[in-house]
Amino acid sequence: MVFDILSRRDKDREKYGNRLPNGQKVVENWPVLTHGGTPRTSTDDWRLRVFGLVEKELELDWEGLTALPRTKVHTDIHCVTTWSKMDTNFEGVSIPELLRQVQVKPEAGAVMAHCYGGYSTNLLLDDFARDENLLAYIYEGEPLAAEHGGPCRLFVPHLYFWKSAKWVKGLEFISKDEPGFWERYGY
Ligand SMILES: Nc1nc2c(c(=O)[nH]1)N[C@H]1C(S)=C(S)[C@@H](COP(=O)(O)O)O[C@H]1N2
Ligand SMILES: [Mo]
């Protein structure tokens, strides 16, 4: 008889070591966490406006987005509701590429991401400008599903996933950090 006294979390930790933040459990599926309904925006209607403290405001439509160089990122994602999903593959336009297009002004210190459906989230510019961050529209080689933010979401894997705004429609450069949707509820 064998008693298996290792908890699920201990096993995950044994397998992944410090890739797994404290208290997180590995999931195989990909949970959907949305406040409210799923906005459906076709790629024909999709627009992203980049504005605020930038030298050149930008409005991208789907053709404009997909014409930009595409970057692939392989990494783990973590949600504060304690799930982690390991070894994911996302593709899209890298945020540094987008920043080159708009030329952020020196007085900008943060970004507010605005979404179809009304959600918003704030990020410090240093957290936003990282190489592995994307305007993501492909997941595991397929178009990103609507429940997960399709046609296009922000992907900021070094932060807990609530910063990865789904259905992003605006990126506003601001001088200092302001609270977004969850942040106003104490996250
Ligand atoms: N527009 C929008 N983006 C959002 C959310 C949301 O409710 N609306 N939820 C956030 C939270 S709390 C998490 S954990 C992730 C979940 O992404 P997923 O549903 O693709 O797993 O999206 C984030 N981005
Ligand atoms: Mo979350």
Residue nearest to atom 1 of ligand 1 (CA): 166
Residue nearest to atom 2 of ligand 1 (CA): 166
CA distance 153 to 150: 6
Question: In a mutational test of the pocket of ligand 1, which residue from 123, 161, 185, 187 has the highest number of ligand atoms less than 8 Å from its CB?
Answer: 161
CA dihedral 86, 111, 81, 30 (to 10 degrees): -40
**Ligand 1 pocket check for 133: Cβ under 6 Å:** no
Q: Is the peptide bond before 179 cis (omega within 30 degrees of 0)?
A: no
Query: Which residue in this structure is represented by tokens 């959907």?
Result: 32
**Ligand 1 pocket check for 115: Cβ under 6 Å:** yes
Which tokens sit at 26?
């590995």
In this prediction, residue 4 carries a pLDDT of 66
Reported pTM: 0.93
Residue 152's Cβ-count burial label (10 Å; 0-12, 13-18, 19+) is buried
In this prediction, residue 151 carries a pLDDT of 98
Asked if residue 51 lies in contact with residue 57, where contact means CB atoms within 8 angstroms, the answer is: yes
Which has the closest alpha carbon to 91: 54, 41, 135, 151?
Answer: 135
Asked if residue 168 lies in contact with residue 48, where contact means CB atoms within 8 angstroms, the answer is: yes
Spans in the chain with pLDDT lower than 70 = 1-5
Question: In a mutational test of the pocket of ligand 1, which residue from 29, 33, 85 has the highest number of ligand atoms less than 8 Å from its CB?
Answer: 33
In this prediction, residue 78 carries a pLDDT of 95
In this prediction, residue 76 carries a pLDDT of 96
In this prediction, residue 13 carries a pLDDT of 86
Which has the closest alpha carbon to 104: 133, 121, 126, 119?
Answer: 126
